[in-house]
Structure 1
């Protein structure tokens, strides 16, 4: 193996391996606990595959730009296209879910609306990326794939108005929908109704997938993802426009089917082409490459280090401990985690906050489950709650209590054998 052309080698493949491992652990804990959030799950799954391919690419093509392994290159280049759409789509799914939580809309949702929400989320996280990476991308695809020396295969698209409308605009339009329609409302509702939100989180049952800290973690992930994808999308569109204006003095709408696919054979590009773009082009290139591993590590820090996640890790370790006969060591670690959780619960009880918080989970059943706050009457004044179910149970117990003091001596006797004691005023004087 010759000298790698990337001066940061092997930092990049190591970071990709660690990022893929972290995402795998997040998905593993979700599988163990059987709780999924579609926005986070789609993002973790696709980024996990992209990190693996980036690690392999940066090692196999570290010192060369040879055209080899064509089938793998096809899959890797199309996977990059999928992830280009998944990142902003997952942001939209998460911000929309946060808006539904913050506005308590799931209290009014019927079965049809719940299904429509799931259909929208599945389309944004799976249907739309596959549609863009398949037939839509083929319309503007100029080459089968391109091998960049030091980094491996990537896609190749035309620089036209149609390419911007069909491909590049997704990293701008989807974050804009999140920013304009949902993000300000989420911040405003959470700020104005923080007391109601805290009451909802504390009253949620153990099966609920929401907590105040979990809500904030999901909000932080959506914000980071938006900050990572939105600028990249703007820069990509700007570069397409600037390059065409410099070379052609115009930006054509479409070059035509024949002209677009004329040079369909794979192409190899040396690393010197990246250096020729100047400092701004080089910074944009490395920024776009490092977005995936950095975002993956942030996801692991937010969702893979929580108390519930560590408990899921211990569950998996116990499975392997049974096979390797080292379960006593794992059991002691698990007991320390339980003790830590008990201390946190006692601290919260001392502060008057009730039982321990329910960590955010990757739970897709949030809208198909009857949550504990679904009986609240939201039209009540702020700070007050009217629970119809509790009132009905109280009246029922009160009626049963009144009936309990009547003990009849026979079916024909209507006089109660047990009567209330007389008051002091009715007692005869001694």
Structure 2
């Protein structure tokens, strides 16, 4: 009987969530709604399969399947969590400013049209779900080759609720950071890239180095997969940034243009830097540069001019390339696929630069009433710092808590043989 009662509750809630007053629905715009639905599909493509292929090509052949499976499992967990409680924590009614109210638990009590938009709130839920999916998946690149699957799932479950959802509320959900500081983050430089990048660095420190790092070469086993994954991420990013305009107008197309030229500039400059530093431009360099440019322009895509976007991309290539050299080769921190140096540093760089390039004199859309270049720049710096510190502390606590139940790291023998066969009983490639 209890089981039947639980099933009845689960069946009832989706009905409640989808029940919408037909008169109120007239307020929604079908063009805007269609665009956001399309953008949601593009963003999901970034994780499934874009990010999995991007990361999968960068690891050794014995671990490619484990990376793809981790991305897929995290996507599934984050999606269910978002429906059950994540959305209401991030975008529920504003009360204290720290967490959203519980009005939208299991997507109950959704409005017909999301306030401030012309789309049904269910469409807004879907769009934001795709951000909640890709953010924890970004961290997979920090622990490839050595993290235990059970620990990964447990950690990402708690991280989504303790780090991602609160920060999303602070910045995007009308929380205290938006209210007090007037912080701006168009599509996730702070909410997505700063949280995931800083957390990835902390996990890499806690896990320790891969066996053989940094003395043994650990070359990508399939650069072609990485190129394909990066290309899917690039195209999907049009939904990521263009969709964050929430309208099917010039605002969306401007954000997409800025996204594209920033990635293009970053990829080209990265190739030039490689040619100067190592003698040859590489496919991995092109892919990494493009992702750095995309991460850097994300917080500003809808607020700046195309010229500024090109500059963002150029700076992203130089700064993120330098961050990789610092973190991996000077500090010898095994953030295996450079999540912090590319996503974290790129997201923070773009979030800070936004405070300057929002100026109409530099082609930006202008500051809110009562804000100036100095105050906006200060707001961006302070917000990035607070989120980075919070993410680092919360990640350390959560990672160690979960490790009490699921050890963080596989054994040395399992690491040597590869996670595909030892953790999942399968091989990514069967050559027989």
- TM-score > 0.5, shorter chain as reference: no
TM-score normalized by the length of structure 2: 0.30
Of structures 1 and 2, the larger Rg is shown by 1
TM-score normalized by the length of structure 1: 0.30
Q: Which has the higher helix share?
A: 2
